[in-house]
Structure 1
Amino acid sequence: MSKKDKELIIGAHMPIGGGFARVPRETIEIGGNAFQIFPHNPRQWNAKLPNEDDVVHFLRDVKKYNLNPEYFLCHSGYLVNVASPRDDVWEKSVELLAIEMKICAKLGIKYLNIHPGSHLGEGEEVGIERIVKALNLVMEKEKSVHIMLENVVMKGGNIGYNFSQMRRIIEQCKYPERIGLTFDTCHGYDAGYDVTKPEGIKKLLEEIDREVGIGRIKFVHLNDTKNTLGSNKDRHENIGNGNLGVEGLKVFLSNPVFSSLPLLLETPGDNPEHAEDIAKIKEIYDSIEAPN
């Protein structure tokens, strides 16, 4: 087996307790060159802009460690549901999403990842209409930030478990050029996309290209899964310990469409565990035979 010349763009979801300034250094310490963060406590509705000192130190260390902001991703809070049919939840979600976009802009982070949301039984059309309305509002207010729609599993009225739904959101938005996709391997596998087989990846990429275009995929959430293909459970596992496994991840990383994107881990544990998972991914990638 021969090692390929291209270095992986890889990182993990990083802690922000005590401030954003810690993130660039800790990213390097765990073997990463990319990262994902929450813009605030993800379990709360309230969020505020970071203080100037924190921003200055964050931006300084981004330069110090020679990190590329194109590989940074913010992940929206857990409470946001812009597909909600409940006006109070929808309005709070839009308000919080707008603040999250401002936080991204302050930190120089171009990409904000969201789950499209759940229609809570009111139907796909209702949900998509609410999502589009919300995205149009927040993208009008903050024009420097792009929204990444993440694929999800088919449960609880979720929207975004296939790419036809993603297309319908994108084509109705005022700013389609500022909407991309994050592909989550755990969510995809649990939703029935077999990313452990070449034919499964071929079928997935054909669907993505047909519905939204391959160029829309900007990030990968690289997660193993505790569950079986098509289970619609969504439970992440550490690299190589789940149903994707080392061999399945090797197949996935053999595809240049995915392996060339920023790979962000959301696996269980904290920085030490993420360091181990990043090392495993690099080992798997280095074991792939280079094309002739």
Structure 2
Amino acid sequence: MVRIGAHVDQDDPLGQAAERGAEVVQFFLGDPQGWKGPVLPATADAIRASDVDVYIHAPYVINVATANNRIRIPSRKLLAAHLEAAAALGAKGLVVHGGHVGKDDDPQVGFDNWRKVFERMECPIPVLIENTAGGGNAMARKLDRIARLWDALDGFDVGFCLDTCHAHAGGEDLADVVDRVKAITGRIDLIHCNDSRDAFGSGADRHANLGKGTIDPELIVAVCRAAGAPIVVETPGPGQAADIAFLRERLG
């Protein structure tokens, strides 16, 4: 059985998991838009002892691909700190966005910078690179770029997180996206199961509850079924319990 859960606040992950009927939780270890280091929740011991699977999402500000040293170097340090903290919490993986380079930069610079991360960093748990919705020079919006990224990371044990909203908004057809991703990465470690507020190819990262956006909910279910990976809904909180129940009914 595929385990299904939600992105929750870091204050009381287990309590929120119980409220939503979640078997999996994902949360931040600090301000997702800030540069401060991770802080383990007060309930860390209970989280480690629970049967709820945990994933940590790295801050959005991290961009290890960029040619800008003032962003790239702090990004590497923050990523390493979150990886260590996530491992200490017993997390199954650390999710991080693929990042981007400047509009006039050669994308290969970004791919090479990603390789340097894994050459210099120990990974006690998997780093799961997530596809993104927008950005003309993003490393992981389009599958052709993801293929170049995986070529650059050849030889390293790197995981992949597939976000359904991001793929749809990024202009990737969900009908066969699982097969196309697996042909590149060989794996999908986690699904971010989200409807999209905006249209196909819009580039807008705006999540909606399942059936409330622009993606056919049965197509979202088909992606989840084909991937066979743990599922996290990152949808608006009031509808998360219903989203989890919807998925469990169709994937059961």
Instruction: Give TM-score, length-normalised by structure 1.
Output: 0.78
Render the CA deviation track for 1:4-39: whole Å, top value 9, x for unaligned: xxx44111101013xxxx212321321110111112
Would you say 1:205 and 2:166 are equivalent positions?
no
> Structure 1 residue 40: deviation in Å?
1.7
Partner of 2:61: 79
Distance apart, 1:190 and its partner CA = 1.3
How big is the shift at 1:170? 3.2
SS in 2 for 1:29: helix
Match of 1:41 in 2: 31
CA RMSD of aligned residues (A): 2.2
Task: Please say if residues 49 and 102 of structure 1, whose CA atoms lie closer than 8 Å, have aligned partners that are also in contact.
Answer: no
Which of residues 169, 175, 180 is equivalent to 1:190? 169
Determine the C-alpha separation between the residues in 1 that align with 2:84 and 2:222. 38
The answer for unaligned runs of 5 or more in structure 1 is: 1-6, 287-292
- The 2-side partners of 1:176 and 1:119 are apart by 22
Which residue does 2:10 correspond to in 1?
16
- Among 141, 147, 162, the residue aligned to 2:142: 162
* Counterpart Cα distance in 1 of 2:181 and 2:79: 26
Alignment coverage as a number of residue pairs: 251
Match of 2:214 in 1: 243
CA–CA distance in structure 2, aligned partners of residues 106 and 168 of structure 1 = 32
Following superposition, the deviation at residue 116 of structure 1 comes to 1.1
1:89 aligns with 2:55: no
Residue from 110, 125, 145 that aligns with 1:127: 110
What SS is found at the alignment partner of 2:25? strand
Name the structure 2 match of 1:56.
45
Partner of 2:229: 261
* Cα deviation code 1:51-98 (max 9, x no counterpart): 7x64223223x1xxx33x4xx221110111111111011111011111
Q: Which amino acid aligns with 1:278?
A: I
Aligned to 1:289: none
One-letter identity of the residue aligned with 1:190? A
TM-score (norm. length: structure 2): 0.90
- Which has the larger helix fraction? 1
**Distance of 2:38 and 2:231 partners within structure 1:** 28
Asked if 2 retains the 8 angstrom alpha-carbon contact of 1:170 and 1:176, the reply is: no
Structure 2 segments unaligned to the other structure (5+ residues): none
Q: Secondary structure at the match of 2:129?
A: strand
Highest CA radius of gyration, 1 or 2?
Answer: 1
Q: Secondary structure at the match of 1:233?
A: coil
Report what 1:110 is aligned to. Answer: 92
Deviation at 1:49, TM superposition (A): 4.3
